[in-house]
Amino acid sequence: MLDDTARATPEHHLLRYFGHGSFSPGIIDRAKGSSVFTEDGHELLDFTSGQMSAILGHAHPEIVATVREQVGRLDHLYSGMVSRPVLDLAHRLVETLPEPLEKVMFLTTGAESNEAAIRLAKLVTGRHEVVSFARSWHGMTQAAANATYSAGRAGYGPAAPGNFALPVPDRFRPDIVDGDGNLDWRRQLDLGFDLIDAQSVGSLACCLVEPVLSSGGVIDLPPGYLAALRDKCHERGMLLILDEAQTGLCRTGDWYAFERDGVVPDILTLSKTLGAGLPLAAVVTSAEIEREAHERGFLFFTTHVNDPLPAAVGNTVLEVLARDRLDLRARKLGELLRGGLNELAERHSVIGDVRGRGLLVGVELVDDSGPGGDGADRLGAAVTRRCAELGLHMNIVQLPGMGGTFRIAPPLTATDAEIERGVAILDAALADVTGRAAT
């Protein structure tokens, strides 16, 4: 038996993995719908969908039923064996995608799917250089971590050669502007590739990006940018890989974020939302790329590749999303959420920007006070704590020199009332922390 002290202290035995952060206060006991509950009965409205994953909320009854049935029938297999849930999920997933995306492999995490995608691209192109955004997050495995620039690079030795960063087209904080002071993303993109071309040893393999940079501050790529990026890639013989870990499967109001721009990637990676909170990821590509990779001896498998239990859950997720038209629901709730947040921005001067798509929304705080101009960092941390005390779980993205951006992603199954309650709690937390209700 553990004594009460050990039970109450996460730091007693758990390795801390948040960099300089810490575990959230309270021990979570259960979760249901849009809320999680601590052992002492405190309810937290979950505006991050767990780790940006639980798009159907917590303990969705159909997912619960699927897990109960499937785990008693078939849960795990030898990596070379194939089960009916995997075949069904591959077919169902491909039906949601445009041509030529038709070949699928199922994995466990987003990092794994990005690792496999980069490996595919390197083998098929015969090259090794990888381009990604300067505020990217693609995972913590080797190739995915090398393509990640928002955090985690310092202190771990040299990164793999041939990784290049593109400037982020941030319209709120533009670095290259036109005559009106607005972001000139075409000139920025041209300059970015000029620098990449100058550094490349002639071995550009792929470009890996999110359509909406989530950990990078919820930066929605400007309309037209993704098509221009695709053209830059194809001019150089590179493959375009889109990481839709957080944007895929209805969260942005479309089934896939790339649909808005009419750009079909060479390789698509999915994770988080595909399992709606359970560990399920996918790599999807064309028959041509798959055939070329196979002929060259493509090798990538894990202990849980194409496992039947998470695949069965994935089938249920896709069925619920399509049946309940949760793409349309995400648009409707997103409009409600953005409307409420825009009202807060009018009354709280510390809100500098509200942005995003569907139910992936960013609220950037601005405050240049304090030593080093880090007022927004301290403000964001304080507001996050106050939100938790008032019953709202929020996540703040804090990047050096960029203030703090709340990354808001409630479940697609949230009610109108829950969205309004979350906005009201954020309003109260901002007022409490800044010492004024509005300005």
Residue closest to 363 by CA, chosen among 378, 372, 376, 382: 376
Catalytic residue among 46, 112, 137, 327, which?
137
Secondary element (H or E) of residue 286: strand 281-286
Catalytic residue among 127, 251, 386, 407, which?
407
- Whether 43 sits among the annotated catalytic residues: the reply is no
Q: Tell the burial category of 265 from Cβ atoms under 10 Å away from its Cβ (0-12, 13-18, 19+).
A: buried
Contacts of 25 (CB under 8 A, 6+ apart): 388
CB-CB contact of 275 with 50 (8 Å) = no
What's the CA angle centered on 199, arms 155 and 284, to 5 degrees? 75
Residue 125 amino acid letter: T
Residue closest to 396 by CA, chosen among 388, 405, 387: 405
Catalytic residue among 46, 102, 115, 210, which?
210
CA distances from 291 to 102, 287, 296, 298, 432 (A): 12, 6, 9, 10, 59
CA distances from 32 to 190, 324, 384, 405 (A): 48, 19, 22, 26
- Whether 243 sits among the annotated catalytic residues: the reply is yes
| Residue whose structure tokens are 């992936």 | 360
| Residue whose structure tokens are 């309810």 | 43
- Find how far residue 206's CA is from the centre of its chain: 20
State the helix-helix crossing angle for 326-347 and 416-434, rounded to 10 degrees.
20
Q: Which value, in Å, is the radius of gyration of the alpha carbons in the chain?
A: 22
Q: Both tokens of residue 32?
A: 């249901």
Catalytic residue among 70, 188, 246, 398, which?
246
Catalytic residue among 243, 261, 290, 364, which?
243
- Find how far residue 6's CA is from the centre of its chain: 33
- Find how far residue 118's CA is from the centre of its chain: 18
The residues with which 45 forms a beta bridge, in sequence order, are 35, 392
Phi, psi dihedral angles at 131 (to 5 degrees): -110, 135
Calpha distance 399→308 (Å, rounded): 39
Tally: H helices and E strands in the chain: 13, 17
| CA atoms 423, 429, 430, 432: torsion sign | positive
- Whether 39 sits among the annotated catalytic residues: the reply is no
CB-CB contact of 221 with 212 (8 Å) = yes
- Whether 137 sits among the annotated catalytic residues: the reply is yes
- Whether 272 sits among the annotated catalytic residues: the reply is yes
- Whether 30 sits among the annotated catalytic residues: the reply is no
Catalytic residues: 137, 210, 243, 246, 272, 407
